Structure 1
């Protein structure tokens, strides 16, 4: 049996992490891995998370299983955080998942059960695991135009034309905010146009909300998702707590499914719990309990929001600094898109050869398509990167 196994292509980002660790040069800079880091290069434990864990440790009396679909209090708290005042509890089923990735996987499984003939429409480019998971499940994938290489913004006319070809029952995957890997986001007016197109075609929106709070603010980053879900008869949302709560290793996420009524909600919830049973049975509870403890306590929630805002503003400051350095060194404003992008990522427009040169000559590690993690920088390393980009001819 095992003789039929075939080597799998290594994940490019994980491979890059290995190369970075093996590099013995002083002053090396990791801009590849998609994890938030503070100015000292550490992914910190947030204050509210520490306090929530203390309370949980002191109060917890058992490690017995919780509910198959997840702890109801956590599901309620996350539903409110993601959907806000647009939440229709009578039409929304929720599932606790193993991170945002687990939410995406369960969403694809659920959609495939509901419509075995669906196609998943994804942005060009998108997070590679979107495509990898869909193809592993045998779901056809179609790309829609999204990123304009010339302006480093959204090719919205191309996007509209392509998603307009989606069929009823297809899934159209949308990045809720902080597009990965480009950093280029839709405007409020563009979200409204996308919503109208999906209503016309009957395609089902599937929003990946991995970075809520990292772009323009918690509610601002969820505005597009809330508009889409409110206007659609059916919708899926996969949300992650890894970034905005900083609990990457706790693998905490949620899947929300908006359906057409209470009976459909209960059916969807039962099917989602069944999918958990078939994959990992009961979902992990520790991260979920941290999140629920924070969101359900006014003081903890306020402290978490304040620290998250510090993180967001810090990334915006780095964006402004890098754009300013590039203006100074090149005498042009062609890198101003860095300041306008949101979240951890921007795609710079460097060729793979230029990215390799920057790695070889300056020990600066980026993904081959020139996606960089802005949170991997600090005030001292921004000028180093800027000079390396100019010297490589980017």
Structure 2
């Protein structure tokens, strides 16, 4: 017998939290755990430009046959333009469409395992839990570098540089392109430049996870660190997602871009990316990718999408400032002021697991055990509720 040899897998803590929230009968419960954008009514809406593109696609699409192994070239080109804006010569870029940003990360790790099986993957502490989970599953070596100072709510840049001084030639350093998950604390451009210099000096390869472009300081500003790394480092891997900035979570739309040191290496890299797609899922999903391509290649749709994305970003910035102000008033301290300076959907409040559990049990407020909250899960009514509850649990 085979299946009776299987062992139970540990439950995904965030998915477990989602189920607990669903099972909670309290009408006043607040979900700050799941990482999706929500409007003031609690809905994750379909963006206007996406709706318009879907209507156009319905009218003109004539087939549902397979795309190429790498996805549609127009999609890959549009994503490379949005992310890199020509900062790297096109003849150095290899790319494939993937099932979401997670698919891009998985394919990047598969590529690393194929090309440099002895490489160690360096992860920020903390990082998105799926990063180490996939790396462990693939049997790859990994280690951590310091990133977040919980006492100040800021990046521990000195600790980060000190740890990264230990990278070996050929090691891969995974960096969050913007809107760090789970902390919301980001490097400055000057700090990014120092990281680029260090990686080049160590002959290490940067691997950028870009899941939230447009959610932090704006579409162009959020791409600036990735463009800096891409323009300064000879080899770069970039895994990008359209789930958040286009709001197409369930369409599973991502892209993996591999930058080769020279044009002559591109064809081999592209061939290996296509090979890995074939092994894992053959042809990538196309619906979301086609919508993104239509939006990015139509000036009217692009303008509408950018305007709505900016509305989303500004809403999160407003919620951040309101929460920081409410926490300052409720706690009579500046302990949580850092929330306003963070960017993206997430911040870590710096609460203990016991305090997080008290928030859930006594107040119906759900957040990840490390006190990561989804800022977009709040609204004008729930911000003061959260602030009062936090003030109570910290005493």
Normalised to the residue count of structure 2, the TM-score between the two structures is 0.99
Q: 1:199-348 counterparts in 2 under 5 A? A: 199-348=200-349
Please give the alpha-carbon distance, in whole angstroms, between the structure 2 residues aligned to 1:378 and 1:42. Answer: 11
Tell me how far 1:263 sits from its aligned partner.
2.4
Q: 1:182-197 counterparts in 2 under 5 A? A: 182-197=183-198
Find out whether 1:148 has 2:149 as its counterpart. Answer: yes
Please give the alpha-carbon distance, in whole angstroms, between the structure 1 residues aligned to 2:23 and 2:144. Answer: 36
Query: 1:392: which partner in 2?
Result: 393
Please give the alpha-carbon distance, in whole angstroms, between the structure 2 residues aligned to 1:275 and 1:352. Answer: 40
Query: 2:61: which partner in 1?
Result: 60
Match of 2:240, SS state, is strand
Q: 1:120-199 counterparts in 2 under 5 A? A: 120-199=121-200
Match of 1:211, SS state, is coil
Match of 1:70, SS state, is coil
Off by >2 Å, runs of 4+ in structure 1: none
Please give the alpha-carbon distance, in whole angstroms, between the structure 2 residues aligned to 1:327 and 1:264. Answer: 54
Please give the alpha-carbon distance, in whole angstroms, between the structure 1 residues aligned to 2:52 and 2:169. Answer: 47
Please give the alpha-carbon distance, in whole angstroms, between the structure 1 residues aligned to 2:332 and 2:364. Answer: 25
- CA deviations 1:243-286 (Å, max 9, x no partner) are 00000000000000000222211111110000000010000000
Please give the alpha-carbon distance, in whole angstroms, between the structure 2 residues aligned to 1:332 and 1:87. Answer: 47
- CA deviations 1:16-58 (Å, max 9, x no partner) are 0000000000121000000000000000000000000111110
Tell me how far 1:325 sits from its aligned partner.
0.7
Tell me how far 1:59 sits from its aligned partner.
0.3
Please give the alpha-carbon distance, in whole angstroms, between the structure 1 residues aligned to 2:25 and 2:272. Answer: 50
- CA deviations 1:151-171 (Å, max 9, x no partner) are 110000000011121111111
Consecutive unaligned residues of structure 1, counting only runs of 5 or more, are none
Find out whether 1:356 has 2:366 as its counterpart. Answer: no
Match of 1:48, SS state, is helix
Please give the alpha-carbon distance, in whole angstroms, between the structure 2 residues aligned to 1:166 and 1:114. Answer: 18
- CA deviations 1:334-364 (Å, max 9, x no partner) are 2110000000000000000000001111101
Query: 2:22: which partner in 1?
Result: 21
- CA deviations 1:61-110 (Å, max 9, x no partner) are 00111111010000000000111131320101011000000000000000
Consecutive unaligned residues of structure 2, counting only runs of 5 or more, are none
Q: 1:98-117 counterparts in 2 under 5 A? A: 98-117=99-118
Query: 1:377: which partner in 2?
Result: 378
Query: 2:44: which partner in 1?
Result: 43
Aligned 8 A contact 1:177 1:209 in 2: yes
Please give the alpha-carbon distance, in whole angstroms, between the structure 2 residues aligned to 1:310 and 1:368. Answer: 30
Aligned 8 A contact 1:79 1:87 in 2: no
Please give the alpha-carbon distance, in whole angstroms, between the structure 2 residues aligned to 1:376 and 1:68. Answer: 37
Tell me how far 1:232 sits from its aligned partner.
0.6
Please give the alpha-carbon distance, in whole angstroms, between the structure 2 residues aligned to 1:331 and 1:368. Answer: 25
Tell me how far 1:180 sits from its aligned partner.
0.3
Query: 1:5: which partner in 2?
Result: 6
Match of 2:86, SS state, is helix
